């Protein structure tokens, strides 16, 4: 609940939610809405009474108006909470100490590409999950559980490629423990350093897994040295980080790694309140042709049950079915447990928070108008969003509709495409979404002059026929980087070509032989470089260029030739409107258009 309290110094403290409407913000400050809007305008923010602003923006405005600010962590009716607030709620809940029970550790595995992260996940899964369960794991499940000594460990999978840093950071944010995988034959690499930075910023308890120790080039001591250079000191070097040497490929040291996870989990004393309504993070979502929108979630606290009304970001629905990570139907799901939820009206975004909702909250979401994007997501107003908008009409835009099989892939593609930077061209997302390319996508593309890009999806037969008739370009890909290269190429095509000039030589004019209306024949000596038939000519008189033309014919010793080199005399036929005089300098050059690339 948003409210104002007072310090002993009589300076008011405003408790502000992560997202708050301008009207509610004015109520919190007990000020007229017009005054708040005026203050927002002073700070370059144009927001109407019903638009929402983020905590950072509201905090700045409140401080300008003489308030101290705090973030309100209580969930008010209808409030859509963020991942950051959920993590704060869990911390606050543990500090309160009410209705707590032990929960499984949530573990993520991070590391440089090709250092064995995926192999380690597969080895743990095969070694620790029963064969009958393993067969039930669906393709897109991004979390699963294993047992060690009768205790459960939850693993959250995050993409390993260096371009997926935002998704990896999500893994670090929701995890209790991170395993940093470093290859014994390769050592600390750029992505390893990036991961270490995340781990330190988020202060996530970390285990070091030195992988590939079975390789002849393996050098675990060198790895420990390089880790120490990056402020990760392992225990046997006198530091605080537990480390273990493993071979994920050959299942060496995996039991020891799992034991250390349980040991670290015991130290962390992980607990949650299973009796409250569930709060879960969306890890992945996709559109199933038979089941509809499907969301893979990880419950952080509380319990979700079949039949509950829920929201997830700006999606809503009633839980019709819950499946565990093996695909088995279950009635409820509690803390630290991954599950598949069926019942939302559409696919939520990665990082959206699933929360039990009242009918009033769902009615509010239903009544919200379509936001900036066709996907229907209402965007919050903040300084950052305002200043990022492209308002320069000189920038050429590549209009695209982007469709993907799952929300996580969509997020990753948008992040990678955001690295294609240029001051002259930009990507304009007409629409993005999860699922196959349909006739409605083609209609939107036709009206907005957009191309349609699909990743791991197909176009329906009707959509294909419509696209052919409307001249809409549809391209589908199975590899993200092929899609990225296609966009890079299309953006490059929008760039104006670069004009590259090559100078060949100079000639001093010694005589004028013919002075025609549109051409002249002149003689002279090549004093630098060479003259080449067919090139362009600049006429320089004293210190100024007075005109240009073309060298259409070249003679040496009364014979036609293709080029004449430095030190020789020649005659040229100059085509152009400039009148050349004795003593002028002719500069021979060529200009070519060169295609630029992003």
Tell me what pLDDT residue 423 has: 84
Tell me the per-residue pLDDT of 352-401, one tens digit each, with 9 for 90 and over.
Answer: 999 998 776 677 676 654 343 333 333 344 434 433 444 455 688 999 99
The pLDDT of residue 159 is: 56
Q: Which residues are within 8 A (CB) of 537 and not within 5 positions of it... i.e. 6 or more apart?
A: 548, 549, 550, 551, 574, 576, 586, 587, 588, 589
Report the CATH fold assignment for 104-269.
Rossmann fold (3.40.50)
- The dotted CATH code for 391-494 is 3.40.50.10050
Which tokens hold the place of 312?
């997830």
CA atoms within 13 A on the CB side of 147: 5
> Nearest to residue 144, comparing CAs of 33, 14, 298, 272?
298
Question: What CATH topology corresponds to 273-367?
Answer: Elongation Factor Tu (Ef-tu); domain 3 (2.40.30)
pLDDT in tens, 315-332: 999 999 999 988 899 999
- Which pTM was predicted? 0.63
Domain residue ranges of the chain, discontinuous segments joined by +: 4-72, 104-269, 273-367, 391-494, 498-594
What are the tens digits of pLDDT across the range 246-283?
Answer: 998 999 999 999 999 999 999 999 999 998 999 999 98
pLDDT band at 13 (very low <50, low <70, confident <90, very high): confident
What is d(CA 140, CA 145) in angstroms, rounded to the nearest whole number? 15
What is the arithmetic mean of pLDDT over 189-208?
Answer: 87
- pLDDT tens-digit map of 489-509: 999 999 988 899 999 999 999
Residue-level pLDDT at 182: 94
pLDDT of res. 247: 92
> Which range, 59-68, 89-98, 132-141, 324-333, has the best average confidence (pLDDT)?
324-333
* Lookup: tokens for 400: 């695209």
Instruction: Examine domains 273-367 and 391-494 and report if their fold is the same.
Output: no
In three-state secondary structure terms, 208 is: strand
- Mean pLDDT along residues 296-303: 94
Q: Which CATH architecture fits 498-594?
A: Beta Barrel (2.40)
Q: CA torsion sign, 183 to 188 to 194 to 195?
A: positive
Rounded to whole angstroms, how far apart are CA atoms 183 and 215? 10
Whether the per-residue pLDDT at 75 is higher than 60: the answer is yes
The larger pLDDT score, comparing residue 185 to residue 14, is at 185
């Amino acid at each position: 609940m948003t409210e104002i309290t007072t310090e002993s110094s009589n300076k008011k403290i405003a408790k502000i939610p992560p997202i708050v409407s301008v009207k509610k913000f004015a109520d919190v400050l007990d000020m007229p809405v017009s005054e708040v809007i005026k203050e927002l305008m002073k700070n370059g923010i144009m927001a109407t009474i019903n638009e929402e602003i983020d905590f950072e923006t509201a905090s700045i405005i409140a401080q300008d108006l003489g308030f101290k600010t705090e973030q309100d962590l209580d969930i008010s009716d209808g409030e859509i909470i963020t991942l950051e607030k959920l993590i704060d709620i869990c911390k606050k809940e543990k500090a309160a100490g009410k209705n707590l029970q032990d929960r499984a550790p949530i573990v993520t595995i991070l590391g440089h590409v090709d250092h064995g992260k995926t192999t380690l996940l597969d080895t743990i899964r095969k070694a620790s999950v029963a064969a009958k369960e393993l067969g039930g794991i669906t393709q897109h499940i991004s979390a699963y559980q294993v047992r060690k000594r009768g205790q459960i460990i939850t693993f959250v999978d995050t993409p390993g490629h260096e371009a997926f840093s935002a998704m990896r950071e999500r893994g670090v944010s929701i995890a209790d423990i991170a395993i940093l995988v470093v290859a014994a034959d390769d050592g600390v690499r750029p992505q390893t350093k990036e991961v270490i930075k995340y781990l330190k910023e988020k202060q996530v308890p970390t285990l070091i897994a030195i992988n590939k120790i079975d390789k002849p080039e393996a050098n675990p001591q060198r790895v420990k040295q390089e880790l120490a250079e990056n402020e990760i000191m392992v225990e046997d070097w006198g530091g605080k980080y537990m480390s273990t040497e493993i071979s994920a490929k050959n299942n060496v040291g995996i039991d020891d790694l799992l034991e250390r996870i349980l040991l670290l989990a015991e130290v962390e004393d992980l607990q949650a309140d299973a009796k409250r309504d569930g709060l879960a993070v969306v890890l992945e979502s996709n559109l199933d042709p038979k089941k509809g929108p499907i969301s893979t979630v990880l419950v952080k606290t509380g319990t979700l049950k079949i039949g509950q009304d829920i929201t997830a970001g700006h999606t809503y629905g009633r839980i019709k079915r819950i499946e565990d990570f093996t695909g088995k139907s279950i009635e409820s799901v509690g803390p630290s447990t991954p599950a598949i939820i069926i019942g939302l009206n559409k696919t939520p975004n990665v990082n959206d928070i699933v929360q039990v909702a009242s009918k009033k909250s769902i009615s509010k979401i239903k009544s919200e108008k379509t936001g900036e994007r066709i996907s229907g997501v209402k965007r919050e107003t903040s300084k950052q969003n305002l200043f990022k908008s492209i308002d320069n009409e000189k920038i050429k835009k590549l209009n695209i509709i982007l469709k993907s099989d799952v929300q996580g892939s969509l997020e990753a593609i948008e992040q990678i495409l955001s690295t294609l930077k240029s001051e002259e061209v930009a990507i304009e997302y007409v629409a993005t979404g999860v699922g196959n390319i349909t006739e409605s996508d083609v209609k939107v593309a036709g009206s907005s002059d957009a191309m349609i890009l699909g990743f791991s999806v197909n176009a329906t037969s009707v959509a294909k026929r419509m696209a052919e008739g409307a001249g809409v370009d549809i391209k589908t890909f199975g590899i993200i980087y092929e899609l990225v290269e296609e966009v890079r190429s299309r953006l490059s095509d929008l760039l104006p070509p670069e004009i590259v000039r090559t100078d060949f030589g100079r000639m001093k004019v010694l005589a004028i032989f013919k002075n025609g209306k549109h051409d002249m024949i002149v003689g002279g000596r090549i004093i630098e470089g060479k003259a080449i038939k067919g090139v362009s000519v600049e006429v320089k008189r004293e210190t100024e260029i007075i005109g240009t033309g073309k060298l259409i014919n070249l003679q040496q010793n009364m014979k036609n030739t293709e080029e004449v080199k430095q030190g020789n005399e020649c005659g040229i036929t100059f085509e152009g409107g400039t009148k050349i005089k004795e003593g002028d300098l002719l500069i021979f050059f060529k200009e070519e258009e060169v295609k630029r690339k992003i």
